[in-house]
Amino acid sequence: MHQELVTLQREIVRSEIFSSESKTQSSDRAMDLGLAEDHFSRPVGSFVASDVEQLKQAIAECKRLILELPEHSEKQKDTVIKLIHLRLKLQELKDPEEDEPNLQVLLEHRFSKEKSKSVKQMCDKCSTIIWGLIQTWYTCTGCYYRCHSKCMNLINKPCVRSKVSHQSEYELSICPEVGLDKQDYRCAECRTPISLRGVPNEARQCDYTGQYYCSSCHWNDTAIIPSRVIHNWEFEPRQVCRTSMRYLALMISRPVLKLKEINPLLFNFVEELVEIRKLRQDILLMKPYFITCKEAMEARLLLHLQDRQHFVENDDMYSLQDLIDTSSGRLSCSLTEIHTTFAKHIKLDCEKCQAKGFMCELCKEGDILFPFDNHTSVCHDCFAVFHRDCYYDNSTTCPRCARMLERQHEESQNP
- Predicted confidence at residue 163, as pLDDT, reads 81
Rounded Cα gap, residues 272 and 270, in angstroms: 5
Q: How would you classify the pairing of strands 103-106 and 212-213?
A: unpaired
- Predicted confidence at residue 317, as pLDDT, reads 95
- Predicted confidence at residue 393, as pLDDT, reads 58
Contact 242, 228 (CB under 8 A): no
Q: How would you classify the pairing of strands 221-223 and 385-387?
A: unpaired
Apex 111 CA angle, 106 and 115, nearest 5: 155
- Predicted confidence at residue 19, as pLDDT, reads 42
| Per-residue pLDDT tens listing for the chain (415 residues) | 444 444 544 454 444 434 444 433 333 333 334 343 344 343 333 334 457 788 888 888 888 888 888 888 888 888 888 888 787 777 666 655 445 678 888 888 888 888 776 667 888 888 888 887 778 888 998 888 988 888 888 888 888 888 887 778 899 999 998 899 999 999 999 899 999 887 788 999 999 999 999 998 999 999 999 999 999 999 999 999 999 999 999 999 999 999 999 999 999 999 999 999 999 999 999 999 999 999 989 888 888 998 999 999 999 999 999 999 999 999 999 999 999 999 999 999 999 999 988 888 888 887 888 999 888 888 888 888 888 888 775 555 788 888 888 888 888 777 6
Q: Which percentage of the chain shows pLDDT scores above 90?
A: 38
Query: Which phi and psi angles does 166 have, rounded to 5°?
Result: -95, -20
Rounded Cα gap, residues 412 and 277, in angstroms: 42
- Predicted confidence at residue 99, as pLDDT, reads 55
- Predicted confidence at residue 78, as pLDDT, reads 85
- Predicted confidence at residue 346, as pLDDT, reads 93
Spatial strand order of the sheet with 137-140 comes to: 103-106, 109-113, 137-140, 146-148
Query: Which phi and psi angles does 187 have, rounded to 5°?
Result: -60, 135
Query: Nearest to residue 402, comparing CAs of 361, 343, 342?
Result: 361
Average pLDDT, the chain: 82
Rounded Cα gap, residues 408 and 46, in angstroms: 90
Contact 62, 34 (CB under 8 A): no
**pLDDT (tens digit per residue) in 192-209:** 999 988 778 899 999 999
Q: What is the pTM of this model?
A: 0.69
- Predicted confidence at residue 246, as pLDDT, reads 93
Judged on CB neighbours under 10 Å (0-12, 13-18, 19+), 150 is middle
Tell me whether the omega of the peptide bond preceding residue 158 falls within 30 degrees of 0, making it cis: no
Map the chain to HEC letters: CHHHHHHHHHHHHHHHHHHHHCCCCHHHCCCCCCCCCCCCCCCCCCCCHHHHHHHHHHHHHHHHHHHHCCCCCHHHHHHHHHHHHHHHHHHHHHCCHHHCCCEEEECCEEEEECCCCCCCCECCCCCCECCCCCCCEEEECCCCCEEEHHHHHHCCCCCHHHHHHHCCCCCCCCCCCCCHHHHCCECCCCCCECECCCCCCECEECCCCCCEECCCCCCCEEECCHHHHHHHCCCCCEEECHHHHHHHHHHCCCCCEEHHHHCCCHHHHCHHHHHHHHHHHHHHHHHHHHHCCHHHHHHCHHHHHHHHHHHHCCCCEECHHHHHHHHHCHHHHHHHHHHHHHHHHHHHHCHHHHCCCECCCCCCCCCCECCCCCCEEECCCCCCEEEHHHHHHCCCCCHHHHHHHHHHHHHHHCC
